[in-house]
Amino acid sequence: MKNKFLRFLMLLACIIFLSANLSFSAYHHMDEQDSDKFLQIYPDKANTKLDSCALCHSGGSYEKYPDSGQFIKMGSCQWCHYKYGYDASGNIVETLNSYGKDFFLNGRNSNAVKNIEALDSDSDGFSNLEEINALRHPGDALDDPEKIVAPYRVYSKDELTQLPQHTQFMLMNTNRSGDYYAEYSGVPLETLLMDAGILETATGITVYAPDGWSTYHPLDPVEEPSLYHVKGVYPQATYYYEPEAELWCDYSAPICSAFSNASIIPVTGGLKALVALQINGANLTQGILNNENRLDGSGPYRIIVPQKTPGAPDQSSKSENQNVVWPFNHDWDHNAGYCTRSVTIIKVEPLPEGTTDINVMEAGWNFIDQEKIIIYGAIKGQTGSLSGQVLTLINNEKMGLSNATITIVETGHKATTQPDGSYTIENVPVGTYFVSIKHGGKNLLSFDHITIEEDKNTNIPICTLPLQKNPCDIDNNNAIGLKEIIHWLNELAAGLTN
């Protein structure tokens, strides 16, 4: 009886193992419902660049003033809030791209997703289905299957800390969640973009967090209050303090004690747009997705922009008591709302001709955990190569391990080992990566902090690995599938009846 029970547990564990290897989980954006409808039809597109607001929503622009001929550009999130409003008082249809409108007009449900597959919503010569299969936006005529992925570069935290750092004490003024003074440290955005090889054709950047939020920043200053620039310095700020303001403004930063009300805040080098790594001398709290499907934390990196029009910390817009020294003022500069938290992607715009967006499959929560950030678009293509050799022990003799898969996890670059176990991966963007080695679908070995330098080859030392057999793989074909599940279910049933 005891042996039967042990056998039952072993078989049950094996079945659980098999089932786990056939399942995966996906992230759904914020608290909206339309992403689920799309993923019901295309579950394999979860966490790709199509699994975002930009699938159905467009960016937009408006004329600075009548007959000026000058237009202010906004990303999809900013445009939606500009046209639709935080209070949902606008027309949501005005924020949709051509694919989003077809989805909306056909019922805004999973059937609508299926019914518009044959349409060419963006009139670029490819059906919606062709574009979705190729990971191209079906509502953007500039993104089609003939485009190639734009140049990109991945930065690790070590690489960011090696760039010139900048520290600034400033006010973070929010609309609702509470103002605070803080000292941020990190890399000036302008410095980082120069290091990445930004092209002269670039005009702005869009930064992305893994929860789907994005914010556009022009390179040069513009008059639009909600667009915070990348280059140059921001106006010098004044420190504001009133005892009453402690009800809504956090003055706990250690450096606050050095200032009094109305004193000028000196910042060596001036206030700048930053990729912040630290707040008040400590690393930013790593961003996580909470139980309400919203982002908590702000690290490892946060975009920080100072106030364009420096002012005092005003009362929260949610407060019923506005009879205070600084009541909420909608027209004041609330810069904190444009300081994107837990940034993992910086897109430099416009994309070079003939290129398209990267696939964000790996540049989301994985980049949060790995403390990496990717920059792509209008930058110089800086690439190198990776090579190495994988051996295995057979009868105590070292031999080349053929048909092993070498993968650069962050970029998706792959190579298959030759009969002697050697491999080479060309045209890898400059950066620091995580490299995995698999054989027969099983993870054999992985390397972290593999650095690719421009026009150089990085050689991974020879690896000698013992081949491992999976006891659940009954036909030794290095694959776990339906045959194995049926076999072990039968074994389980037999074990229970004997």
The whole-number pLDDT of residue 428 equals 92
Q: Which residues lie below 8 Å from residue 482, measured CB to CB, with a gap of 6+?
A: none
The whole-number pLDDT of residue 482 equals 64
- The mean per-residue pLDDT over the stretch 327-340 comes to 97
Q: What is the DSSP string of 379-441?
A: B---EEEEEEEEEEEETTEEEE-TTPEEEETTT--EEE--TTSEEEEEEEESEEEEEEEEETT
**Entry pTM:** 0.70
Does the pLDDT value for residue 18 go beyond 70? Answer: no
Closest C-alpha among 57, 55, 35, 54 to residue 46: 35
Helix, strand, coil % (nearest 5) of the chain? 25, 30, 50
Per-residue pLDDT band at 110 (split at 50, 70, 90): very high
The whole-number pLDDT of residue 319 equals 95
Q: Which domains does the chain have, with CATH numbers?
A: 2-22+480-497 (no CATH), 34-149 (no CATH), 154-377 (3.90.420), 383-465 (2.60.40.10)
The strand pairing partners of 218, in sequence order, are 204
Distance (Å) of CA 125 to CA 85, 139, 144, 228: 34, 12, 9, 37
Does the pLDDT value for residue 215 go beyond 70? Answer: yes
Q: What is the DSSP string of 277-339?
A: EEETTEEPPBPEE-TTS-EE--BS-EEE---SS----PPPTT-S---SSS---TTS--GGGGS
Distance (Å) of CA 420 to CA 89, 396, 439, 465: 66, 17, 15, 14
The whole-number pLDDT of residue 65 equals 60
**335: buried, middle or exposed (CB in 10 Å: 19+, 13-18, 0-12)?**
buried
The whole-number pLDDT of residue 30 equals 46
Q: How crowded is residue 266: how many other Cβ atoms within 10 Å of its Cβ?
A: 11
Distance CA 355, CA 146 (A): 9
Our CA angle for 288, 289, 293, nearest 5°, is: 165
Distance (Å) of CA 215 to CA 78, 269, 303, 305: 7, 25, 10, 12
The strand pairing partners of 204, in sequence order, are 218, 349
**242: buried, middle or exposed (CB in 10 Å: 19+, 13-18, 0-12)?**
middle
Point out the least confidently predicted range of 61-65, 379-383, 430-434. 61-65
**397: buried, middle or exposed (CB in 10 Å: 19+, 13-18, 0-12)?**
exposed
